[in-house]
Chain A
Amino acid sequence: MALSLGWHIVLACFGVAFPAMIFVVHRRGLRRADPVALGLARRWSKVAAVLFAVGAVSGTVLSFEMGLLWPGLMGRFGDVLGLPFAFEGLSFFVEAIFLGIYLYGWDRLPPRLHLAALVPMAAAGVVGTFCVVSVNAWMNNPTGFRIVDGVVTDVDPWAAMFNDGVWLQFAHMWVAAFMVVGFLVSGVYAAGMLRGRRDAHHRLGFGVPFTFATVAALAQPLVGHLLGLRLAVTQPAKLAAFELALTTEERAPLRLGGVLVDGQVRWALTIPRLGSIIARNSLTAPVPGLDAVPPDQRPPVNLTHLAFQGMVGIGTLLALVAVVYWLARRLGRDLLSRRWFLAVAVAAGPLAVLALEAGWVATEVGRQPWTVWQVLRTQDAAGPGSWLWWSYAAAFMVYAGLSVGAFVVLRSMARRWRAGQEHLPSPYDPADPADPAEAAEAAESVGR
């Protein structure tokens, strides 16, 4: 499940953020009659076709795994937490339908109507994020039911869906999606510029996603901070692990890095008072420590701590990269002509993914040993263990295959685009390399 989710979460980010970026580029192409922007939108829509297909199937894997791996969770709480999934199914429907319309609509639909097909896709991405995150927020803030003599009763699915944690967690994830996709896509074009391809196509392909990523990267610290403030009240054990706090302290320090070995914090850079300021918005408020948590309810501290600080560190670094770029631009310097900056921009993509995964590890591992906070332990939620390892190995191979397949296909698409083939006919027949319909399409668009 962790593997599938960690893999799917990246593709889901594309489903959430990519339509908005395609929309901006496509709209620019129509408004300014800009062939570069239109060409970019057309290519991105083909990339989206591949990524969304893979995202659709990996999302399906997840929906099956909910039952296969977590029967104890779904059997008992399915009717509590299921409603947002039902709405997520709807938004996935809308996204898939309009993706079909948009992909099919090139050269077939009136341009404005065609462009408008992206709007429901982007909207469905927002709703879908909310719904999926809502379930995770419910696992952190379980509500909308009572347990009487071990039986779940008094179920209110709306209360469960709109639990206290959902809005901030949603905002955090939504913004993260724009960071990940923005930095990944702009990184691809930065790599192209590093190899000397500095045409308008590459500048636009860098500029639009980088702008999205900048806004997201600057908003994220604020959202993350607000989200973190809740933890002292809602999940003190997680906060203690994030902060590597062994004992509850007033005027708590911030421990940068470091690991817990034999009950001692080692190799941490300790900054006095900053912990209270960051975690509690106060100079004096106490930060809860692990001593307040019964030993059998403590999460794996080191992993949680390092993942959390990794996320924050990378996020801060990425925001800095964005600020430096726009400051330099204001001062009249174009950093896109500097190789060091392009190299940083290329690295920003994988780093954003790393931050995403680290944040996900931090929130999930930090909730252990609970699957549903203080309601259901992970060992009770999971299925029988005997075949889990086999399914894990099989899932790993399938995902590795999918990753390799997607990589090979996307790379070959990019290679053929660079070679000047715009329409990418499917190579089914050795005697007749051009797919007749695609060729007709090409002739048609040339004729315009």
Chain B
Amino acid sequence: MSVQVAVAVAMFIGVVAYAVLGGADFGSGFWDLTAGDAHRGAAVRTLVDHSIGPVWEANHVWLIYVMVFWWTAFPRPFAAVMTTLYLPIVLALLGIVLRGAGFAFRKYAGSLRQAQLFGVVFAASSLIAPFFLGVVAGAVASGRVPAAGYGPPLASWAHPTPLLAGVLAVALCSFLAGVFLTADAARAGDQALSERLRTGSLAVAFGAGAVVLLALVPVSRDAPTLTDGLTGRAAPLVLLSTGAGLGTVWALLRRHHTLARGAAVVAVVAVVTGWGVAQYPWLLVDEVTIAAGAGAPRTLAALLVVVAVAAVLVLPPLLYLFALTQRQAARASH
């Protein structure tokens, strides 16, 4: 593996981690938004607070990780994407800002009215952010970003693949979050809440499946390079993702909540990895390859040092944080 590809893989691991961990946090907004009025929704909203409260900031850092790796390792493609897709990027950014601030403000809001205001901001922006991040990914994957940048501001992403990628991102986030929250509620001993979320998660799972099926034809016409990859090299991952998705539905039906959580993670990891494998070796599909877009070799080598440091300094405490919050949730139920 060349050093360019090694850094691209390290960066893409960040994309996958953000899709799963950050995605589940964003998806919580869907359940928060659809939880109903203040009385009916209080249980869901409290659960969302407890589930994502301790971890969302750490999960959010994966996005920063991807950004800094991107501009450091692949500066010219970074500038190309930024100057072309600035509209969806600014909208995603707006969603990210309002999501984080709305969430933090709501937790310490002084009155129900304040909490409702911050809550709507949090929940709505939780859906805006993944939609436009999906749009950006779809635009890159369908070859809409010219190597020199400054592509048309609207026509670069107002196409089937980017828009469907946005919808799919929202669906996957909501699906992940639904499965996670169902398991969290069951473990906290709230069966009624868990059942309610389980029904909703099944509905969202079928919705996400329908989006994928509907997307097949337009995407295959709109993004031939991506489609070739998905049906060729990445086909095993696509199949794995489909299988894991169906497995999640089965596990939800049988109320194996922990199993469902694992299967949902596999499904999302497989589909996102599948996208990466499908567009390899392109960084910007049909425009710039990983090798051509990479920056100075010594910088790439230095970034691999950063990855090594991260593996030692960041991963253990991150795993500890997850273990801590999960273990305590389990203890609370006894």
Contacts and interface: CB of A to CB of B under 8 A. Distances in A.
A89 B65 contact: yes
Interface in B29-71: 38-39, 41-42, 45-46, 49-50, 53-55, 57-58, 60-61, 63-65, 67-69, 71
Given A104-B328, A427-B115, A437-B46, A156 B298 contact: yes
A387 B89 CA distance: 14
A157 to B, nearest CB: 4
B24 to A, nearest CB: 15
B60 A436 contact: no
B149 interface: yes
B64 A92 contact: yes
B292 interface: no
Contacts, number: 259
Nearest to A47: B108
Interface string B235-265: 0000000000000000000000000000000
Contacts of B216: none
Interface in A40-74: 46, 49-50, 52-54, 56-61, 63-64, 66-68, 71-72, 74
A405 to B, nearest CB: 5
Interface residues of A, number: 81
A75 B76 contact: yes
Contacts of B42: 428-429, 432
Contacts of A52: 57
A168 interface: no
Contacts of A100: 54-55, 57-58, 321, 325
Contacts of B78: 67, 74-75, 78
A98 B298 contact: no
B217 interface: no
A140 B320 CA distance: 40
Given A108-B328, A430-B38, 11 more contacts: A60-B64, A67-B67, A82-B71, A82-B75, A83-B299, A85-B68, A87-B306, A89-B64, A100-B325, A104-B324, A398-B97
Interface of A: 46, 49-50, 52-54, 56-61, 63-64, 66-68, 71-72, 74-80, 82-83, 85-90, 92-94, 96-101, 103-105, 108-109, 120, 153, 155-158, 383-384, 387, 391, 394, 398, 402, 405-406, 408-410, 412-413, 415-416, 424, 426-432, 435-437
26 contacts: A46-B108, A53-B57, A56-B61, A64-B82, A75-B75, A79-B295, A79-B300, A88-B68, A89-B69, A90-B306, A90-B313, A93-B64, A93-B310, A94-B314, A97-B321, A108-B328, A384-B83, A387-B86, A398-B98, A409-B114, A413-B110, A428-B38, A428-B45, A428-B112, A432-B42, A437-B46
